[in-house]
Structure 1
Amino acid sequence: MEKLSIGEIGAILSLKKDETDPFISEAEKDGRKGVQKLLMKWKKDREEEKKLKEKFYEMTLFERKARSRGYKLIAGIDEAGRGPLAGPVVAAAVILPEDFFLPGLDDSKKIPARKRHEYERIIKQEALAFYVSFVSAQEIDRLNIYQATIKAMKTAAASLNPIPDYLLVDAVNLETPFPVEPIIKGDAKSISIAAASILAKSARDRFMVELAQMYPSYGFEKNMGYGTKEHLGAIEKYGATPYHRKSFAPIKPTM
């Protein structure tokens, strides 16, 4: 072992996954501080991987229960953008294969943007089906935000191909031809809903970044339409854009 440099040991460790590997026990005998530091980090990383795998398995509970009842095409549904003052509300529906595995998948709000984009790519690549639905600010004003959210969710579910036979929905009991199971905080409890939350948030964020190029004074690329101090100041100075929700306070009193 001591014939290997610390850099060489680090490279070999990066390929190892099993703590029972003889190379690990040999590394533990190496008295060099650099080797022990690498080994400590390796063990910490393996422990983190183990926790992520356990969390992922826990988040398959609702999918496993549905499959035990004979359902095969289980769709997760979630939305993004109910609270902002500007931009659409977006819903996504996604059907994952039974063997889908993506440790670290969670509520999109808990995942950094770069990792979220990576997960979005993997989900779209491996999903059996997915669809993202937008409902505009004008429709939100006409319907109200709750009904607009319902519309976006139903559209996303109805647009899936293949057609789902069971729906897992974040906190909303949709009326659809399919059996529906609403789950409070479902984006942190179900891999299907979590995947939908990733797709919905990613799509909406991209829309708001593009909108920022049309209306640079509002900081949409940073606030995503939420009522930050900068955003509220821009509304007060420049007024509302066609993409603002006129039925939302504090915009409504100024219109």
Structure 2
Amino acid sequence: MLNDGVAPALAAAAVLGFRHGVDYDHVAAIADLAGASPRPAQGVGLALVYGLGHSTIIIVLGGISVWFGMVLPKRSDQILEAAVGCTLIVLGAYVLGAIFRGTPGARPATRFELIRGAGRRIKSWFATSPSSPPAATNQPPSPPTAYGVGIIHGIGAETPTQLGLFVLAAGVGGWSSGLLCVLTFAAGLLAMNTVMAVASAGMFHLSNFRDWIYRGVMILTATYSIVIGALFVLSSIGVPVPI
């Protein structure tokens, strides 16, 4: 039987998980996965792997928070928030530049392709043997890449407010109840990620039949990325913003 204070905390954790699943970084990442995948089913699968990576770091951070009864320092959250914001601005600007400067019908590389390309360049700097031929561009990201990006986004976008909920649950009903609260949050996040992945994959699949639709969608998502990135940066320096 759950303590009286734990049941509301679990309900709040589930709601926060659903809400976190439609946060700005999730929408951008899932749209990127859907746009990079040639088949809707593949895009949904990669988005689920991304969600698993994100949930993994949430469970780790939440478990640590519950165990030690503390939240992440505010200063560290501000630094990570600024880093996420700058990333969104740069990527959004890159996509807009690629669309308006590129040839008609050409698709800009996704952030996963940019990360993979940067990894190949870094690896080549330390390689002692001749490097293999470069991999083909515009290939969908691999599941390990999607999982890794989910972990990175989990570190950079998790908020002390959500971790504070986990600590509250631990104080009300013990460590096991706090961990259950963390798992409930992660389950809500995965459920919403699945819904978002199916919707995004279907949207991009339809846009494949009309290039102008695809370009319009990419312009909208890139503009959205820049605006949200700017809000993240402003929030990190103490400017009140609606995020």
The TM tier, using the shorter chain, reads under 0.3
Bigger-Rg structure (1/2): 1
TM-score when scaled to structure 1? 0.24
Write 1 or 2 for the structure with the bigger share of strand.
1
TM-score when scaled to structure 2? 0.25
Write 1 or 2 for the structure with the bigger share of helix.
2
